[in-house]
Amino acid sequence: MNSKIIHSVSVFQEGKLIENAWAHLAEYTTIGHGDSWQRLNADEVIDGSGQVLHAGFFDTHCHGGNGFAANNSAQDILGILDFNQQNQVTRNIVSLVSAPVAEMVRITKECESLLLDPRFLGLHFEGPFLSHEHRGAQDPDALKIATDQEVQAIVECKTIRSITVAPECLSDSQTAVLEASGIKLCFGHSSAGYEETLDFLTKHPESVMTHTFNGMRGIHHRAPGPVPAAIETDTYLELIADGIHVEPAAARLIPAERLILVTDAIQATGQPDGKYLLGEVKIEVRDGVARTESGSLAGSTLKITQAVKNYARWTNNLELALRAAITNPEKAYKVPAQPITSENHFLFRVNSN
Protein backbone atom coordinates (compact mmCIF):
# COMPACT_ATOMS: atom_id res chain seq x y z
CA MET A 1 0.00 0.00 0.00
CA ASN A 2 1.35 3.42 -0.95
CA SER A 3 1.44 5.93 1.87
CA LYS A 4 0.58 9.61 1.58
CA ILE A 5 1.07 12.74 3.65
CA ILE A 6 -1.23 15.72 3.15
CA HIS A 7 0.05 18.73 5.09
CA SER A 8 -0.89 22.38 5.66
CA VAL A 9 -4.52 21.32 5.32
CA SER A 10 -7.71 21.74 7.34
CA VAL A 11 -9.08 18.38 8.46
CA PHE A 12 -12.80 17.85 9.09
CA GLN A 13 -13.33 14.96 11.46
CA GLU A 14 -15.98 14.11 14.08
CA GLY A 15 -17.79 17.40 13.44
CA LYS A 16 -14.71 19.54 14.04
CA LEU A 17 -12.52 21.50 11.65
CA ILE A 18 -8.83 21.28 12.57
CA GLU A 19 -6.73 23.96 10.89
CA ASN A 20 -3.02 23.79 10.03
CA ALA A 21 -3.20 20.02 10.26
CA TRP A 22 -1.72 17.05 8.44
CA ALA A 23 -2.78 13.50 7.72
CA HIS A 24 -0.59 10.46 7.21
CA LEU A 25 -2.62 8.00 5.14
CA ALA A 26 -1.31 4.45 5.10
CA GLU A 27 -2.57 1.21 6.59
CA TYR A 28 -3.79 3.40 9.42
CA THR A 29 -4.63 7.11 9.37
CA THR A 30 -2.80 9.51 11.67
CA ILE A 31 -3.91 13.12 12.08
CA GLY A 32 -1.49 15.70 13.47
CA HIS A 33 -0.95 19.44 13.77
CA GLY A 34 1.68 21.89 12.60
CA ASP A 35 4.99 20.77 11.09
CA SER A 36 5.44 17.48 12.92
CA TRP A 37 4.62 15.63 9.67
CA GLN A 38 8.17 16.36 8.52
CA ARG A 39 9.47 13.58 10.77
CA LEU A 40 7.41 11.00 8.84
CA ASN A 41 8.10 9.14 5.61
CA ALA A 42 5.61 8.62 2.81
CA ASP A 43 5.53 7.67 -0.86
CA GLU A 44 3.69 10.89 -1.72
CA VAL A 45 3.60 14.30 -0.08
CA ILE A 46 0.84 16.77 -0.94
CA ASP A 47 0.54 20.41 0.05
CA GLY A 48 -3.09 20.85 1.07
CA SER A 49 -3.01 24.61 1.55
CA GLY A 50 -6.44 26.22 1.15
CA GLN A 51 -8.21 22.86 1.18
CA VAL A 52 -10.24 20.72 3.55
CA LEU A 53 -9.56 17.00 3.92
CA HIS A 54 -12.73 15.02 4.61
CA ALA A 55 -14.22 11.55 4.20
CA GLY A 56 -17.12 12.46 1.89
CA PHE A 57 -20.40 14.37 1.90
CA PHE A 58 -23.85 12.89 2.57
CA ASP A 59 -26.72 14.02 0.29
CA THR A 60 -30.12 12.94 1.61
CA HIS A 61 -32.21 14.45 -1.21
CA CYS A 62 -31.08 14.04 -4.82
CA HIS A 63 -33.20 13.08 -7.86
CA GLY A 64 -30.54 12.85 -10.54
CA GLY A 65 -27.48 14.16 -12.29
CA ASN A 66 -25.30 13.80 -15.37
CA GLY A 67 -28.35 12.81 -17.45
CA PHE A 68 -29.54 10.14 -15.02
CA ALA A 69 -32.97 10.27 -13.33
CA ALA A 70 -33.85 8.20 -10.27
CA ASN A 71 -37.43 7.57 -11.39
CA ASN A 72 -36.15 5.78 -14.51
CA SER A 73 -34.41 2.68 -13.20
CA ALA A 74 -31.89 1.18 -10.79
CA GLN A 75 -29.30 1.56 -13.53
CA ASP A 76 -29.91 5.32 -13.56
CA ILE A 77 -29.59 5.37 -9.78
CA LEU A 78 -26.20 3.67 -10.08
CA GLY A 79 -25.23 6.42 -12.54
CA ILE A 80 -26.29 9.02 -9.95
CA LEU A 81 -24.11 7.36 -7.30
CA ASP A 82 -21.11 7.43 -9.65
CA PHE A 83 -21.71 11.07 -10.60
CA ASN A 84 -22.14 12.15 -6.99
CA GLN A 85 -18.94 10.38 -5.98
CA GLN A 86 -17.11 12.53 -8.54
CA ASN A 87 -18.51 15.45 -6.54
CA GLN A 88 -17.25 14.06 -3.21
CA VAL A 89 -20.55 12.50 -2.09
CA THR A 90 -19.98 9.05 -0.60
CA ARG A 91 -23.43 8.45 0.91
CA ASN A 92 -26.75 9.04 -0.80
CA ILE A 93 -30.44 8.81 -0.08
CA VAL A 94 -31.77 8.97 -3.63
CA SER A 95 -35.13 10.66 -4.21
CA LEU A 96 -38.09 9.70 -6.37
CA VAL A 97 -40.65 12.32 -7.39
CA SER A 98 -44.35 11.50 -7.13
CA ALA A 99 -45.67 8.76 -9.37
CA PRO A 100 -48.30 6.03 -8.95
CA VAL A 101 -47.42 4.04 -5.84
CA ALA A 102 -47.11 0.83 -7.84
CA GLU A 103 -44.51 2.48 -10.10
CA MET A 104 -42.52 3.83 -7.15
CA VAL A 105 -42.62 0.42 -5.47
CA ARG A 106 -41.32 -1.17 -8.69
CA ILE A 107 -38.22 1.03 -8.53
CA THR A 108 -37.62 0.00 -4.91
CA LYS A 109 -37.57 -3.67 -5.87
CA GLU A 110 -35.14 -2.96 -8.71
CA CYS A 111 -32.85 -1.24 -6.21
CA GLU A 112 -32.55 -4.04 -3.68
CA SER A 113 -29.20 -5.16 -5.06
CA LEU A 114 -27.87 -1.61 -4.66
CA LEU A 115 -28.05 -2.00 -0.87
CA LEU A 116 -24.75 -3.86 -1.20
CA ASP A 117 -23.20 -0.58 -2.40
CA PRO A 118 -22.11 1.46 0.66
CA ARG A 119 -22.84 4.67 -1.22
CA PHE A 120 -26.57 3.83 -1.40
CA LEU A 121 -28.45 4.23 1.88
CA GLY A 122 -31.92 3.86 0.41
CA LEU A 123 -34.65 5.74 -1.40
CA HIS A 124 -36.58 8.83 -0.46
CA PHE A 125 -40.18 8.93 -1.67
CA GLU A 126 -41.04 12.59 -2.28
CA GLY A 127 -44.72 11.85 -2.49
CA PRO A 128 -47.24 10.94 -3.68
CA PHE A 129 -49.21 11.89 -0.53
CA LEU A 130 -48.72 15.61 -1.05
CA SER A 131 -50.78 18.80 -1.28
CA HIS A 132 -51.91 20.03 -4.70
CA GLU A 133 -51.71 23.62 -3.44
CA HIS A 134 -48.01 23.35 -2.59
CA ARG A 135 -46.97 20.73 -5.11
CA GLY A 136 -44.16 22.74 -6.70
CA ALA A 137 -42.90 20.65 -9.63
CA GLN A 138 -44.63 17.43 -8.54
CA ASP A 139 -46.93 15.82 -11.12
CA PRO A 140 -50.48 16.87 -10.10
CA ASP A 141 -51.93 13.70 -11.59
CA ALA A 142 -49.82 11.57 -9.23
CA LEU A 143 -50.77 13.32 -5.97
CA LYS A 144 -53.39 11.68 -3.80
CA ILE A 145 -54.79 10.86 -0.38
CA ALA A 146 -53.16 7.73 1.02
CA THR A 147 -54.97 4.42 1.29
CA ASP A 148 -54.14 1.72 3.82
CA GLN A 149 -53.23 -0.65 0.99
CA GLU A 150 -50.72 1.84 -0.46
CA VAL A 151 -49.13 2.48 2.92
CA GLN A 152 -48.79 -1.26 3.47
CA ALA A 153 -47.17 -1.69 0.04
CA ILE A 154 -44.65 1.02 0.91
CA VAL A 155 -43.65 -0.39 4.30
CA GLU A 156 -43.05 -3.81 2.74
CA CYS A 157 -40.31 -2.36 0.49
CA LYS A 158 -36.75 -3.00 1.64
CA THR A 159 -35.06 0.06 0.15
CA ILE A 160 -37.18 2.99 1.38
CA ARG A 161 -35.32 5.16 3.89
CA SER A 162 -37.60 8.20 4.05
CA ILE A 163 -40.87 9.61 2.74
CA THR A 164 -42.05 13.20 2.38
CA VAL A 165 -45.71 13.57 3.31
CA ALA A 166 -48.27 16.30 3.75
CA PRO A 167 -49.94 15.48 7.09
CA GLU A 168 -53.36 16.37 5.67
CA CYS A 169 -53.03 13.58 3.09
CA LEU A 170 -52.70 10.71 5.59
CA SER A 171 -54.45 9.60 8.75
CA ASP A 172 -52.64 9.44 12.07
CA SER A 173 -52.77 5.66 11.93
CA GLN A 174 -51.16 5.62 8.48
CA THR A 175 -48.27 7.87 9.53
CA ALA A 176 -47.84 5.68 12.61
CA VAL A 177 -47.54 2.59 10.40
CA LEU A 178 -44.91 4.28 8.23
CA GLU A 179 -42.90 5.43 11.23
CA ALA A 180 -43.14 2.06 13.01
CA SER A 181 -41.61 0.40 9.94
CA GLY A 182 -38.43 2.47 10.35
CA ILE A 183 -39.12 4.87 7.48
CA LYS A 184 -38.09 8.44 8.30
CA LEU A 185 -41.05 10.82 8.07
CA CYS A 186 -40.36 14.12 6.30
CA PHE A 187 -42.77 17.06 6.31
CA GLY A 188 -43.20 18.83 2.98
CA HIS A 189 -45.35 19.97 0.07
CA SER A 190 -48.10 20.65 2.60
CA SER A 191 -50.82 23.25 3.15
CA ALA A 192 -50.56 22.81 6.92
CA GLY A 193 -50.23 25.89 9.06
CA TYR A 194 -48.26 26.41 12.25
CA GLU A 195 -50.56 24.50 14.61
CA GLU A 196 -51.02 21.50 12.31
CA THR A 197 -47.30 21.30 11.61
CA LEU A 198 -46.42 21.57 15.30
CA ASP A 199 -48.86 18.77 16.07
CA PHE A 200 -47.33 16.53 13.38
CA LEU A 201 -43.73 17.24 14.38
CA THR A 202 -44.49 16.78 18.08
CA LYS A 203 -46.08 13.39 17.41
CA HIS A 204 -43.13 12.41 15.20
CA PRO A 205 -40.14 14.08 16.90
CA GLU A 206 -37.45 12.51 14.69
CA SER A 207 -38.87 13.99 11.50
CA VAL A 208 -37.10 16.04 8.84
CA MET A 209 -38.48 19.12 7.05
CA THR A 210 -38.10 18.70 3.29
CA HIS A 211 -36.41 21.65 1.52
CA THR A 212 -37.37 24.18 4.18
CA PHE A 213 -39.35 27.22 2.97
CA ASN A 214 -40.10 25.55 -0.40
CA GLY A 215 -43.34 23.64 -0.97
CA MET A 216 -45.05 25.09 2.11
CA ARG A 217 -46.60 28.25 3.53
CA GLY A 218 -44.30 31.17 4.18
CA ILE A 219 -43.74 33.03 7.43
CA HIS A 220 -46.21 35.81 8.28
CA HIS A 221 -46.40 37.56 11.64
CA ARG A 222 -50.07 36.58 12.08
CA ALA A 223 -49.81 33.19 10.34
CA PRO A 224 -46.32 31.87 11.11
CA GLY A 225 -46.64 28.69 9.05
CA PRO A 226 -44.63 25.45 9.24
CA VAL A 227 -41.04 26.73 9.52
CA PRO A 228 -41.30 28.18 13.05
CA ALA A 229 -42.92 24.92 14.17
CA ALA A 230 -39.91 22.99 12.90
CA ILE A 231 -37.49 25.43 14.51
CA GLU A 232 -39.25 25.09 17.88
CA THR A 233 -39.07 21.28 17.86
CA ASP A 234 -36.21 18.81 17.44
CA THR A 235 -36.79 18.57 13.70
CA TYR A 236 -33.88 18.55 11.27
CA LEU A 237 -34.38 20.99 8.40
CA GLU A 238 -33.19 20.56 4.82
CA LEU A 239 -31.97 23.55 2.84
CA ILE A 240 -31.28 23.94 -0.88
CA ALA A 241 -28.44 26.46 -0.54
CA ASP A 242 -28.24 27.67 -4.13
CA GLY A 243 -29.36 31.23 -3.32
CA ILE A 244 -32.35 30.79 -5.64
CA HIS A 245 -34.68 28.60 -3.61
CA VAL A 246 -34.02 30.49 -0.37
CA GLU A 247 -32.44 33.88 0.29
CA PRO A 248 -29.38 33.77 2.58
CA ALA A 249 -31.08 35.88 5.25
CA ALA A 250 -33.90 33.33 5.47
CA ALA A 251 -31.46 30.42 5.39
CA ARG A 252 -29.73 31.81 8.47
CA LEU A 253 -32.98 31.46 10.46
CA ILE A 254 -32.54 27.69 10.44
CA PRO A 255 -30.71 26.47 13.57
CA ALA A 256 -27.26 25.46 12.32
CA GLU A 257 -27.11 22.41 14.60
CA ARG A 258 -30.16 20.92 12.84
CA LEU A 259 -29.50 22.08 9.29
CA ILE A 260 -29.06 19.51 6.49
CA LEU A 261 -27.68 20.83 3.22
CA VAL A 262 -29.21 19.01 0.25
CA THR A 263 -29.00 19.45 -3.49
CA ASP A 264 -32.48 18.36 -4.67
CA ALA A 265 -30.46 17.86 -7.85
CA ILE A 266 -32.16 16.68 -11.03
CA GLN A 267 -31.17 14.91 -14.24
CA ALA A 268 -29.89 18.20 -15.70
CA THR A 269 -27.19 18.65 -13.05
CA GLY A 270 -23.82 18.67 -14.82
CA GLN A 271 -25.59 18.98 -18.18
CA PRO A 272 -26.25 21.90 -20.56
CA ASP A 273 -29.31 24.14 -20.33
CA GLY A 274 -32.30 22.74 -22.17
CA LYS A 275 -35.52 20.78 -21.81
CA TYR A 276 -35.77 17.80 -19.48
CA LEU A 277 -38.30 15.70 -17.57
CA LEU A 278 -38.75 15.54 -13.81
CA GLY A 279 -40.80 12.37 -13.53
CA GLU A 280 -43.57 13.06 -16.03
CA VAL A 281 -43.34 16.86 -15.71
CA LYS A 282 -41.74 18.88 -18.50
CA ILE A 283 -39.15 21.34 -17.28
CA GLU A 284 -36.66 23.74 -18.81
CA VAL A 285 -33.26 24.73 -17.48
CA ARG A 286 -32.06 28.26 -18.22
CA ASP A 287 -28.83 29.60 -16.77
CA GLY A 288 -28.74 26.55 -14.53
CA VAL A 289 -32.19 27.17 -13.02
CA ALA A 290 -34.88 24.53 -13.63
CA ARG A 291 -38.54 25.50 -13.86
CA THR A 292 -41.80 23.93 -14.96
CA GLU A 293 -43.81 25.40 -17.83
CA SER A 294 -45.88 27.27 -15.23
CA GLY A 295 -42.74 28.80 -13.68
CA SER A 296 -42.37 26.72 -10.50
CA LEU A 297 -38.85 25.83 -9.45
CA ALA A 298 -38.18 22.19 -10.36
CA GLY A 299 -35.39 20.86 -8.19
CA SER A 300 -31.94 22.27 -8.79
CA THR A 301 -28.69 21.78 -10.67
CA LEU A 302 -26.75 22.35 -7.45
CA LYS A 303 -23.77 20.22 -6.42
CA ILE A 304 -23.18 19.65 -2.71
CA THR A 305 -19.69 21.17 -2.96
CA GLN A 306 -21.23 24.46 -4.09
CA ALA A 307 -23.93 24.26 -1.41
CA VAL A 308 -21.22 24.00 1.26
CA LYS A 309 -19.32 26.96 -0.22
CA ASN A 310 -22.49 29.06 -0.41
CA TYR A 311 -23.59 28.40 3.16
CA ALA A 312 -20.05 28.94 4.47
CA ARG A 313 -20.03 32.33 2.72
CA TRP A 314 -23.51 33.27 4.00
CA THR A 315 -22.56 32.48 7.60
CA ASN A 316 -18.81 33.11 7.50
CA ASN A 317 -18.47 29.71 9.15
CA LEU A 318 -17.00 26.81 7.16
CA GLU A 319 -17.26 24.35 10.05
CA LEU A 320 -21.03 24.82 10.28
CA ALA A 321 -21.35 24.28 6.54
CA LEU A 322 -19.34 21.05 6.68
CA ARG A 323 -21.41 19.78 9.61
CA ALA A 324 -24.57 20.47 7.63
CA ALA A 325 -23.34 18.34 4.74
CA ILE A 326 -21.77 15.54 6.80
CA THR A 327 -22.39 15.41 10.55
CA ASN A 328 -25.99 16.61 10.78
CA PRO A 329 -27.42 14.18 8.19
CA GLU A 330 -25.50 11.40 9.96
CA LYS A 331 -27.24 12.32 13.21
CA ALA A 332 -30.66 12.76 11.61
CA TYR A 333 -30.57 9.39 9.89
CA LYS A 334 -28.51 7.61 12.59
CA VAL A 335 -25.68 6.76 10.19
CA PRO A 336 -22.17 6.14 11.57
CA ALA A 337 -19.48 8.67 10.72
CA GLN A 338 -17.06 7.72 7.97
CA PRO A 339 -13.35 7.77 8.82
CA ILE A 340 -10.71 9.37 6.63
CA THR A 341 -8.67 6.54 5.12
CA SER A 342 -6.16 6.02 2.36
CA GLU A 343 -8.97 4.62 0.19
CA ASN A 344 -11.62 7.15 1.23
CA HIS A 345 -10.66 10.80 1.39
CA PHE A 346 -11.26 13.99 -0.53
CA LEU A 347 -9.66 17.40 -0.79
CA PHE A 348 -12.21 20.19 -0.98
CA ARG A 349 -11.00 23.59 -2.17
CA VAL A 350 -13.14 26.18 -0.45
CA ASN A 351 -12.30 29.38 -2.34
CA SER A 352 -13.18 28.23 -5.84
CA ASN A 353 -16.30 28.15 -7.98
Assigned CATH class of 4-54+340-349:
mainly beta
- Residue 2: pLDDT band by 50, 70, 90 thresholds? confident
User: How do beta strands 89-97 and 120-126 pair?
Assistant: parallel
The pLDDT-based confidence of 351 (bands split at 50, 70, 90) is confident
CB 293 within 8 A of CB 250: no
Residue 118 pLDDT: 97
Q: Tell me how far CA of residue 188 lies from CA of 9, 87, 135, in angstroms.
A: 39, 27, 9
Find the distance separating the first CA and the last CA of the chain, reported in whole Å: 33
Contact 80, 68 (CB under 8 A): yes
Instruction: Report the alpha-carbon distance of residue 339 to residue 27 in Å, rounded.
Output: 13
pLDDT, tens only, 136-168:
999 999 999 999 999 999 999 999 999 999 999
Length of the chain counted residue by residue: 353
Mean pLDDT throughout 111-125? 98
Domain borders along the chain are 4-54+340-349, 57-332
> What is the pLDDT averaged over residues 234-259?
98
Q: Tell me, what's the pLDDT at 350? A: 87
Nearest in space to 263 (alpha carbons), one of 58, 12, 56: 58
pLDDT digit string, tens, across residues 296-319: 999 999 999 999 999 999 999 999
3-state secondary structure of 314: helix
pLDDT, residue 45, reads 94
Q: Which CATH number fits domain 57-332: 3.20.20.140, 3.40.630.10, 3.40.50.1370, 1.10.357.10?
A: 3.20.20.140
Q: What band does 353 get if pLDDT is binned at 50, 70 and 90? A: low
Residue 210 makes CB contacts below 8 A (sequence gap 6+) with 61, 126, 164, 186, 187, 188, 189, 238
